[in-house]
Amino acid sequence: MKVTKIQKMRSGKYKIELDNHQTITTYDEVILKNNLLFKKELDSELTNQIAKDTNTYDGYYKALKYITTKMRSEKEMHEYLKKHEIPLQEQEYIIHKLKSNGLLNDSQFAASFVADKVHLSNMGPYQIRRELEGHNIDSDTIEKQLSSYEDSIFADKLKKMMMKKIAADHKHSKYQLEQKLMQDFTNMGYDREQIMSVLNEMELNDDKTLEKEYQSLYHKLSKKYQGKELYMHLKTKLYQKGFSLSDIQHKIEEDSYGSEN
């Protein structure tokens, strides 16, 4: 078979026309690699090689498109190529080429990932570490990137989030709220000691919540109980909600005194 014409297409690919009216659509890299600008005769072996190289570059350009949306890890790229049924040997070639061209770099990926999570999310350092480990990023790289951010950055984020959660909470006792905040922020990847440190700065108290819960329970329980029995049930219910016995007793005595007068 003889090459009669090589024409660039709008897609950026090239169409090779043969004297038997067949056409081959491929890439400029394949044309150069196989010296098609000068070789006008194609045998079956060369035709097969062109087909193979074209498939490889199909995968390569799929990979290029995949990383134009955002930076990817090597693991993500392997999974993407596998999903598109790219043979393993071609996967290795594509990834090697991307790395050689500086388009795929796990260190750069880790740096970008950490920066995004620190500045654009509520994720804590432990959660960031777990996410990067899921990308098969080595521990030294993870530690290097996380250590570039001061603990105070995470403490400030914690404080802002904590203040919002506390302001929005109107039903939990101080003890319950502390336990809830500890669980929430631990799940988000923050250090328990740092959470407790920020909690201690909040100076939480039960005054408003205790008053609200007391009035609500009193209204409900007073329909069934009176006198000492009522206050006994009030004390039990409030204690179960996490209020301290001393605060409950003080409230009951205050209410009892007010009732007598």
Give the tens place of pLDDT for each residue, 150-200.
989 999 999 999 989 888 877 777 788 888 999 999 999 999 999 999 988
8 and 94 belong to one structural domain: yes
| Contacts for 165-173: CB closer than 8 Å, 24+ residues apart | 166/202, 166/204, 170/208, 170/209, 170/212, 171/209, 171/212, 171/213, 172/209, 172/241, 172/242, 173/206, 173/209, 173/210, 173/213, 173/241, 173/242, 173/243
23 and 96 belong to one structural domain: yes
The region of weakest confidence among 142-156, 161-175, 243-257 is 243-257
Last residue of a domain, one of 68, 85, 100: 100
117 and 52 belong to one structural domain: no
194 and 110 belong to one structural domain: no
Averaged pLDDT of the chain: 87
Q: What is the CATH number of the domain that holds 116?
A: 1.10.10
How many domains does the chain contain in total?
A: 4
The region of weakest confidence among 6-15, 124-133, 202-211 is 202-211
**Structural domain for 119, as ranges:** 106-146
Q: pTM here?
A: 0.72
50 and 135 belong to one structural domain: no
pLDDT digits (tens, 9 = 90+) for 32-55: 988 888 767 888 898 899 999 999
